Amino acid sequence: MAAVTLPPASPTRPRTLVIGSALGTGAVLMFFGALFGLYFSRRADTMAWGSEWFPEGAIQLVPGSMNMATMAVSTVTMAWAVYAVINDDRIHSYLAMFLTAVMGIAMINQTVFYFNDIGLPIDHSEATTFLFVIVGAHMAMVGVGVLWLGLLLLRALGGQDTSRHRDLVSAAALYWYAAVAVYVVIWYGIYIAK
Amino acid sequence: MTMSETAADTTGGAGVVPPTSLEAAVTTTDHLVVGRAWIASGALFLVVSLLAGLLANLERLDLAGVGLFGSADEFFQFWSAHRVGFVLLAVVPVIVGLATAVVPLQVGATSIVFPRAAALGFWTWLLGAVLTVTGFLIDGGLGTPGSGSQRQAVALTLVGLLMVIGGICVASLCIVTTVAAGRPSGMSLDRVPLFSWTLLVAGTIWLATLPVLAANAVLAYVDLRGRPAVGFGAEDAIWEQLSWAFTHPQVYVFALPLLGIAADVIPVAARRRLPSHNALLVVTGLIGVVGFGAYAQPAFDLSTPVMTQALYVVEAFLAVPLVLLVVGALAGTLRRGAGNLGARPPAPVVLAVLSLLLLVAGTVVGAIRAVSPLDLLDRSTTGAQMTFTMGAALVAAMAGTLWWGDRTMGRVAPQGMGLVGGLLATLGVVLVAVPDTLSGFMGLSDFTGADLAAAGDPGGAVGALNAVAVVGSLLLLLGAVGWIATGVRRMKGAEASPDPWGGHTLEWATGPVEVTSERPLLDAMDEVGA
């Protein structure tokens, strides 16, 4: 059998979208890192003086835990979306992205409902200022993620999210996982530790 | 299933109306145009910020009261407007503009990565800059010590500041991604020119630190909008939370690209290779690391300020030898190639050398300021350190625009005029920063207000030093105007040759070049014995 000279492998396409998204997500994480750093520092100072941080019974664990469960499940559907796109499984990628977006909307809906009912004005104390800023900023982060997923769904319907063009889905997944990671800290720092 | 991606029709078919020049300017994604827009806008805001600085320095001539402004609060608004404007509306944007135009060419990318995002970053920053300046002008700003400002205007300033931060972050993201992922085959990261490398380091740290400033600003904004501000939004507390961005060590991160400008300009002019490109990559990276973490200074633990802790002091002292290492390497290159410079070295080389000297002065003042027994943290030495460091970055940016302007604008600039502007700016920086350093030792507060006790010894040398600083502010302003005039003259200049300096890096290439080292064009010249 005659030897066959294979053409050189095509150069690896730089994953600019994933790198750019990682940088952007890193910046967002630094934003939340600063808020959390200030939150825990001020909370420790306040409690060291024997003062209360949040008023007794003001923060309920159940709404926070429901949101945490919602966000946790959304990581599975997001990973499912990436897996489906890599395997050119169009139907499953639609379904997974749609479910992830729905869970993001549900999380925002639950948070808005709870904060309308919480009975703590934003200027009650430093703690409530932090509460509204951190939770509000996270809702905005999830909202951006939902919009991004909506864009991906439109692109997928147009046939653009395939295994050859999966970077946008991978980048969105990276951002979404970061949003979930931020919520883990919110869940612990605000709803559990109070 | 067929793919639906289609190439945009760029042929301009029948019936297609060409965009007006305004439409073209607003909708362009050409990195050269966007870069020029950053530089031009930054130059205009530079004049605004320097005017504010001149007025604030004039006020200090009357240390016993507030003569020029209506109150100490108004004085504070101009004083803080100068710092915010000089850093975030002038020097950093000019560097970002230079990078947007030059970095893609340097690393061999076809364009900047995410060109639409790069344009979005500029327009977001511009709108934010306009809102910030408007906020200051309508009695807002970043709070005042006497809570005498208009709360709505302060809120507007904070929104403007947030947009400014957002714009710079988006632009930095595009630049950093271009260096990280836009390089062609052969252009490994250790072969990236030093200007692009310093932008990679600085841009990454900007992306890590400016969101912290944004978090501070959001907290202040939300609290301010509440009925009685409970802490962060109290008008006398806002500046305290944001001031870390305009002092040591954050200013080192803002000024870091100046080392890249000098390291790209000097070897070409001296016709010599740098002794160790890789070592400079490491050292400039370390300077970026040393500059990280400024945000921990004011707010995290008020009972034990970070500014008196060991890490802060070590960082301040580490910056000096690291910068000296880079300066030493460049000085050696300059000395070995002194014969190639001619009787009149090119203007960018002169300005690059001056910017290095100013940076050394800035790091030395930063180190002295961190010595706790000297008690200089709240003295005018703080402003002097910022003026030295950001002034160095400004002079380097002037050198950069003179150096790369022929390539990015295609027109020749009057280099002599640019040199005069740069020299005036350098002299201005020295005449502002040296007196402020000395006054700090004599007890002059960073912001004196109408408090005579904070004014050091008005009867002694402080008053005379403040008068010198006024002259310095004026010279700095004249230098900036001279630099802008050089840019305007360039627009009417003769057509530039593609490589006026005999450059070593890809932005000067006129055809395909194989990248075999950090200086591919020099390799090509060596090969043919040129």
Q: Which residues of A touch B229 (CB under 8 A)?
A: 123
CB B398 within 8 A of CB B432: no
Is there a domain that residue B527 lies in?
Answer: no
CB A38 within 8 A of CB B299: yes
**A34 has a chain B CB within 8 A of its CB:** yes
Residue among A30, A37, A158 whose CB faces B4 most closely: A158
Q: Return the number of other C-beta atoms located less than 10 Å from residue B138's C-beta.
A: 15
Distance CA B126, CA B104 (A): 22
Q: Do B173 and A27 touch (CB under 8 A)?
A: yes
How far CA B361 is from CA of B321, B351, B355, in Å, comes to 12, 15, 10
Distance CA A177, CA B196 (A): 31
Q: Do B173 and A20 touch (CB under 8 A)?
A: yes
Is A13 a residue whose pLDDT tops 60?
A: no
In angstroms, what separates the C-alpha of B215 from chain A's closest C-alpha? 6
CB-based burial of residue B51 (10 Å sphere; 0-12 exposed, 13-18 middle, 19+ buried)?
Answer: middle
Enter the tokens of residue B64. 């016993």
Task: End-to-end CA distance of chain A: give it in Å, rounded.
Answer: 74
Is there a domain that residue B20 lies in?
Answer: no
Query: Model confidence over B108-130: pLDDT tens digits?
Result: 898 999 999 999 999 999 999 99
**A132 has a chain B CB within 8 A of its CB:** yes
pLDDT band for A1, please (50, 70, 90 cuts): very low
Mean pLDDT by 10-residue block, N- to C-terminus, for chain B (530 residues)? 40 67 86 95 97 92 76 90 96 97 92 94 97 93 81 93 97 96 88 95 96 94 77 81 88 95 94 90 93 67 58 84 95 90 90 97 93 85 95 97 92 93 97 95 84 70 91 97 95 88 87 81 73
Domain of residue B36, residue span: 27-522
What is the total count of domains within chain B? 1
Backbone angles phi, psi at B337, to 5 degrees: -105, 20
H or E stretch covering A170: helix A167-186
Helices of type H across B370-449 = 381-409, 415-441
Q: How many residues does chain B have?
A: 530
Is there a domain that residue B13 lies in?
Answer: no
CB B144 within 8 A of CB B236: yes
Distance CA B334, CA B341 (A): 9
Please report the ipTM that was assigned to this predicted complex: 0.90
Distance CA B251, CA B245 (A): 7
Whether the full predicted model's pTM is greater than 0.80, yes or no, is: yes
Lowest-confidence pick of A117-121, A128-132, B80-84, B500-504: A117-121
Is there a domain that residue B262 lies in?
Answer: yes
Helices of type H across B337-380 = 338-341, 347-369
CA torsion through residues B257, B261, B267, B270, sign: negative
Q: Return the number of other C-beta atoms located less than 10 Å from residue A106's C-beta.
A: 16
Query: Pick the residue with more confidence: B4 or A39?
Result: A39
Backbone angles phi, psi at B445, to 5 degrees: -70, 160
Q: Which residues contact B308 (CB under 8 A, 6 or more apart)?
A: B372
Distance CA B88, CA B80 (A): 12
Is there a domain that residue B435 lies in?
Answer: yes
CB B248 within 8 A of CB B316: yes
Q: Which domains does chain A have, with CATH numbers?
A: 17-192 (1.20.120.80)
Q: Do A30 and B228 touch (CB under 8 A)?
A: no
Distance CA A168, CA A173 (A): 9
Distance CA B528, CA A47 (A): 74
Distance CA A187, CA B14 (A): 60
Is A116 a residue whose pLDDT tops 80?
A: yes
Distance CA B181, CA B112 (A): 10
CB B284 within 8 A of CB B243: no
Maximum alpha-carbon separation in chain B: 85
CATH of the domain at B262: 1.20.210.10
Distance CA B196, CA B56 (A): 36
Is there a domain that residue B100 lies in?
Answer: yes
pLDDT for B10 equals 47
| Residues in chain B whose Cβ is within 8 Å of chain A | 1-5, 113-114, 117, 169, 173-174, 176-177, 180-183, 185, 204, 207-212, 214-216, 218-219, 222-223, 226-232, 295, 299-303
Rg (CA), chain B: 23
Q: Which residues contact B77 (CB under 8 A, 6 or more apart)?
A: B136, B139, B140, B141, B144, B149
Distance CA A120, CA B522 (A): 67
**A157 has a chain B CB within 8 A of its CB:** no
CB B223 within 8 A of CB B232: yes
